């Protein structure tokens, strides 16, 4: 009987959803790694970006979100990607461009694939488990403090849109 109960317990645990944050890390544009597990307990807005994209002015909105909600726990993570052929050549150029043009201070990864067979494991998981794959630059993914997917938005939805800020505010203490 005890063996049957243990099997049932472990089987039930296997059915629980695995938090999106679990085990995913990105190379940081500043060197080192950005481990999503470090953000446990905080909502995280992950955005695939590109410096030369027509949506690049959204960097200002991303920084505004970080400035407005960061003290309450929000983390805005920019993920530069050249998957749509609109990113600069290397991390140093991206960092300089974003600092000079948008005064960015939010965390940023190194250049990362977000679509296709070479997609970062985080984005591959979003596609496989949630049916979400960025269709262009500046797609947004909101995770709650437990790492669960809350919502996604495309490029046309600016980061400071009420549809996004309402979701963020609902996750803050």
| Residue numbers annotated as active site | 53
First to last CA, the chain: 44
Find, among 165, 166, 150, the residue nearest to 20 by Cα.
150
Helix (H, G, I), strand (E, B) or coil at 123: helix
d(CA 70, CA 92): 25
DSSP 43: -
Pairing type for strands 44-49 and 75-80 reads parallel
d(CA 125, CA 93): 29
What φ, ψ does residue 90 adopt, rounded to 5°? -150, 170
């Amino acid at each position: 009987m005890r063996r049957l109960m243990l099997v049932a317990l472990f089987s039930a645990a296997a059915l629980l959803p695995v938090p999106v944050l679990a085990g995913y890390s990105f190379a940081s544009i500043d060197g080192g790694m950005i481990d999503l597990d470090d953000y446990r307990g905080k909502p995280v807005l992950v955005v695939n970006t590109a410096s030369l994209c027509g949506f690049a002015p959204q960097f200002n909105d991303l920084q505004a979100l970080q400035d407005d909600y960061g003290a309450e726990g929000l983390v805005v993570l920019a993920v530069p990607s050249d998957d749509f052929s609109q990113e600069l050549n290397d991390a140093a150029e991206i960092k300089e461009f974003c600092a000079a043009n948008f005064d960015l201070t939010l965390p940023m990864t190194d250049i990362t694939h977000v679509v296709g067979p070479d997609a970062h494991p985080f984005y591959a998981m979003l596609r496989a488990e949630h049916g979400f794959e960025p269709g262009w630059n500046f797609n947004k993914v909101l995770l709650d403090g437990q790492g669960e997917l809350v919502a996604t938005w495309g490029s046309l939805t600016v980061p400071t849109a009420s549809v996004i800020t309402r979701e963020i505010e609902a996750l803050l203490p």
